[in-house]
Chain A
Amino acid sequence: MATLLRSVRRLVPGLALAVTLAGGTLAVVEPATGARLVRIPGGVYVPLTRTTKDPAQVTVAAFRLEERPVTNAEFLAFVTANPKWRRSQVSRLFADSSYLDYWAGDLELGPRAPARSPVVRVSWFAARAYARWVGRRLPTTAEWEFAAGAGYTRPDGRNDEQLNRDLYAWLARPVPDVQPAVAVGRPNCYGLRNLHGLVWEWVDDFNNAMVTGESRGDSGLERDLFCGAGSVGAKDTTDYAAFMRVALRSSLKANNTTTALGFRCAQDAAP
């Protein structure tokens, strides 16, 4: 059935499909075309945390990024077409027990999951599978941070006071029980919304952030990444939010899901 749906969806991209499910429920499968992609010109990303071995700058090639996070409705279309990613069927290897647990059911969003709100409580594996399903991928850390470093009016957002005020106001607010709709916030200068102020987002190479662990260098890395040495080495010690993102990524396992962690997809820029 999943394969059939996918091929029909590919043939008729604008079509919404009505599907009778096993229990006799009628579900409408929206065509999952994904959010609009915005082209982000290449540039230089200055990593926040640096060991002595790290490059001072990372060059980011031009790429395309979805203008907003993936919504509950979009993710519902994905799990409808891919039964192994439904809440009741997913393997614990790929998503922990709180995966999509705020939905009313396997294929029912319910009052805590408005269709236009960002999907959260998804694992890295699930986010990646969705991205592949829509023919896209997750952004890398460098791409995400490069895009998120932009201000409301110019690519370098470091001194954008309004952006910083909004960002820290968000960080100070508790996570709401029901997430507000995506694409409501003010876009940055690329036209991207919600990179700050709605949910945290998975990146493809989240597992390159090493803060705790067992590697030969981990205790050193921990010092370099995080405490005194890390802050001194960091280019911009005022970017507290970026430290928090590193902390979050390094604390995650790929099957973890959490209350305010969603994702958006990316794509290579057309050559």
Chain B
Amino acid sequence: MTMKPALFLLLAARLALGAEAPTQLTAAPACPHCQEGAAAVATAGAAFSKESIYQIDARFTDDSGRSFTLGELRGRPVVLDLFFASCGYACPLLVSDMQAIRAKLPAGIRDRAAFVLVSFDVARDTPAALAQYRAQRSLDGQWTLLHGDDQAVRELAALLGVKYREEADGTFSHSNIITILNEQGEIVHQRYGLKGGLDEAAAALAAAVK
């Protein structure tokens, strides 16, 4: 057996990972109009935390054609899923699961939460196609449907631990993961698979909102 030790070391490295560093603010970006290194402009708000997925600079477009960065969701708890509109099996279930999570939330939190769908299908799920999907599924203003280029979607998927690939028939094989983000954009919970776990997801979201 000539197994390269890389795989085993990798496993060991993962086990050794241990506790994450405590949340801290990254260095504030320098104001372009001031001296380099000066404090950030107060109106721009504090930088994202080191665990925030909003640190990625990927740009998306929503289904109204507006440019969108994930950082715009800051301040709201988020239920996030990657999907594609022509998906006939898992994605409709995932959207239904997101609706079920919404129904389980306490009223005060339910109205503040954002429900976000980002499409794998960068070619077909244009903003217009996503608008059509919104209408078909009767998704209200609390839902954000996002189109991105391949680089943006791949980076977001990598952050969330979602694997996917396009098959020859134009469908996508993908992980089924619903992610809960707190108000800073930090992952507080992930629901894997298609069965159960909705109470836990709703509870994690409610707990993340202090």
Known pairs A91-B51, A251-B7, A260-B6; A204 contacts B175 (CB<8 A): no
B137 CB within 8 Å of chain A = no
Stretch at the interface among A13-21, A73-81, A209-217: A209-217
Known pairs A91-B50, A92-B21, A93-B159; A252 contacts B10 (CB<8 A): yes
Contacts of B72 in A (CB 8 A): none
With the chains together, A204 CA to B157 CA distance in Å?
A: 12
Partner of B13 from A84, A209, A258 at Cβ < 8 Å = A258
| Distance between B180 CB and nearest chain A CB, rounded to angstroms | 16
With the chains together, A200 CA to B5 CA distance in Å?
A: 12
With the chains together, A221 CA to B163 CA distance in Å?
A: 12
A253 CB within 8 Å of chain B = yes
Task: Given contact pairs A92-B21, A207-B163, A210-B165, enumerate 10 new A-B contacts (beta carbons under 8 Å).
Answer: A54-B168, A84-B26, A96-B13, A207-B162, A214-B177, A214-B193, A216-B89, A216-B194, A248-B6, A259-B5
Partner of A97 from B17, B163, B171 at Cβ < 8 Å = B17
A166 CB within 8 Å of chain B = no
With the chains together, A223 CA to B165 CA distance in Å?
A: 17
Counting chain A residues whose Cβ lies within 8 A of the other chain, the interface size class is 35 or more
Q: Is the CB of A125 within 8 A of B158?
A: yes
Partner of B10 from A83, A172, A221, A251 at Cβ < 8 Å = A251
| Distance between A245 CB and nearest chain B CB, rounded to angstroms | 10
Partner of B174 from A84, A92, A171, A215 at Cβ < 8 Å = A215
Q: Is the CB of B90 within 8 A of A216?
A: yes
With the chains together, A205 CA to B67 CA distance in Å?
A: 25
* Residue positions of B touching A, CB distance < 8 A: 2-7, 9-11, 13-14, 16-18, 20-21, 26-27, 36, 50-53, 55, 89-90, 154-155, 157-159, 161-165, 167-169, 171, 173-177, 192-194
Name the residue of chain A whose CB is nearest to the CB of B48.
Answer: A91
Known pairs A93-B51, A172-B2, A260-B4; A208 contacts B159 (CB<8 A): no
Partner of B163 from A124, A125, A208, A256 at Cβ < 8 Å = A208
A51 CB within 8 Å of chain B = yes
| Distance between B32 CB and nearest chain A CB, rounded to angstroms | 10
With the chains together, A260 CA to B51 CA distance in Å?
A: 26
Instruction: Please list 13 pairs of residues, one from A and one from B, whose beta carbons are closer than 8 Å in the complex, sorted by A's number.
Output: A91-B50, A92-B51, A93-B159, A97-B16, A171-B4, A175-B5, A175-B9, A205-B165, A208-B163, A210-B173, A248-B10, A251-B11, A256-B10
Name the residue of chain B whose CB is nearest to the CB of A168.
Answer: B2
Q: Is the CB of B176 within 8 A of A216?
A: yes
Contacts of A200 in B (CB 8 A): 4, 6
* Residue positions of A touching B, CB distance < 8 A: 1, 4, 51, 53-55, 83-84, 91-94, 96-98, 124-125, 128, 168, 171-172, 174-175, 200, 204-205, 207-210, 213-218, 221, 244, 247-248, 250-254, 256-261
Q: Is the CB of A254 within 8 A of B13?
A: no
Q: Is the CB of A175 within 8 A of B13?
A: no
Contacts of A175 in B (CB 8 A): 4-6, 9
| Distance between A29 CB and nearest chain B CB, rounded to angstroms | 17
Partner of B167 from A53, A174, A204, A218 at Cβ < 8 Å = A53
Partner of B154 from A1, A172, A205, A215 at Cβ < 8 Å = A205
Contacts of B168 in A (CB 8 A): 53-55
Partner of A215 from B6, B18, B175 at Cβ < 8 Å = B175
Q: Is the CB of A247 within 8 A of B163?
A: no
With the chains together, A258 CA to B193 CA distance in Å?
A: 28
Partner of A210 from B10, B20, B163 at Cβ < 8 Å = B163
With the chains together, A7 CA to B17 CA distance in Å?
A: 37
Name the residue of chain A whose CB is nearest to the CB of B170.
Answer: A53
